[in-house]
A and B are shown apart, each in its own frame.
Chain A
Amino acid sequence: MGPPDPRERFEEMYTANYADLLGYVRRRTESADDAADALAETFTTAWRRLDDVPEGEQARLWLYGVARKVLSNQRRGESRRSALAGRLRDELGAWDAGAWDEAMPQQDTGAIRAAFQRLGADDRELLSLVSWEGLDTAQVATVLGCSRGAVRVRLHRARKRLARELHAAELDLTRYGPRATALVKGQP
């Protein structure tokens, strides 16, 4: 049996990972347009470099790494509107319009969000990859292109910084368990 047809392989990889990539870019972009364009550019890169895309679970991590660079370029104003993403842009825009007409954020979670936003971009990305994308240390290291040890150290520091920000905001950490409180107090 020969190697799979490139188009078949691309479509299989796309459908298996699209939802995860959509979540990744939506959580890091301000508008539906930016999210749609980032998705278009990420998957276009994957198509052009299909031989470089690893198989299975590793494909998702590879795509996260590409999307991360695409978003970085986007923040520098180096992206362009993709003509291929017109309908997707509309769909995501409609989804966004519905997403924010619901209940207002509660006060304590607003405080968590504000504390999180006060962190540096690198800290936010590390914590997000773990808690939003559900990656473990090794997977984060793959996405960021660094060692597991470096991820562990940076992650620990990021968690401590967030805990301090939450403490400074006088959020009642005891609601979230003794470990959160211990972390603020500098215990491992």
Chain B
Amino acid sequence: MRTDDIDRLVASIAPDAGPGLTPGARELMAGIAATHPAPARRRPFPVPGLRKIHRALVPLALAAVLLTWTLPAEVAFGPRPANALEIRRAGVFFAIAVRDVYAGRESYRRELTEVGLRISMVVVPGAPGAVGQIVVVHGGRLSANRYAPTTWTVPDGYDIAPLVTSAYCVREEDCPIGLRIRAGHRGTETVWVAREARPGEAYLFPRTVSAPPR
């Protein structure tokens, strides 16, 4: 798309998306469902003739579902392939390789959401030794065109870990950065992934992940 650069500029000033599903949010959910009357359920097909058509369509719908289960993935119907990320299912994990390190967190988020993940992913320039490392940022704040993290931790590897790239690498240049995350992980963490910095670009990734934030 010829206007990606403008879109990236706009993405760079996106205000923070907030703390996610907090206890107060759950309280609101329970309050709405408890305080207000349940919605009146409408009959799905109030016209008798449509009900017959509905019954006739059931076998067709079932056949369509079975078809999508049995067709090979290449010809099955489904979402178009991701382009900023390459997401593969590997056992109980998703292996997420970053194919476009400049795509921006909203693009990553869109593709992560498609597989049910709620984390935010930010790819930031790092020192050569840090490329491919990941940290989970706590209290990170988007300010201007960068995050200013309060603290960060190295994930323990149980749910989130750096991508094991051996399956991807034919040549060293082909090795992607990314992460491995447990399928069904419901956290809303912000994960930083270190990429190679461009000439003259400041390192944003922590120089040593155990050091306090700058």
Binding site for B on A (CB under 8 A): 3, 6-7, 10-11, 14-15, 18-20, 22-23, 26-27, 35-36, 39-40, 43-44, 47-51, 84-92, 95, 98-100, 102-106, 108-110, 112-113, 116, 127-128, 130-134, 156, 159, 162-163, 166, 173, 176-180, 182-183, 188
Contact = CB atoms under 8 A, between A and B. Distances in A.
B106 A180 contact: no
Interface of B: 2-25, 27-29, 31-33, 35-36, 38-39, 41-42, 104, 106-107, 109-110, 113, 118, 139, 141, 143-146, 148, 150, 188
A47 B36 CA distance: 8
9 contacts: A19-B18, A35-B18, A85-B28, A87-B23, A87-B28, A91-B23, A92-B24, A179-B5, A182-B2
Contacts of A99: 16, 141, 143
Given A103-B144, A132-B106, A134-B106, A43 B28 contact: yes
Q: Which 3 A-B pairs have the closest CB atoms?
A: A23-B17, A105-B144, A88-B24
Given A99-B16, A106-B145, A109-B13, A22 B38 contact: no
Contacts of B188: 19
B6 A183 contact: yes
Nearest to A43: B32
B32 A162 contact: no
A20 B33 CA distance: 20
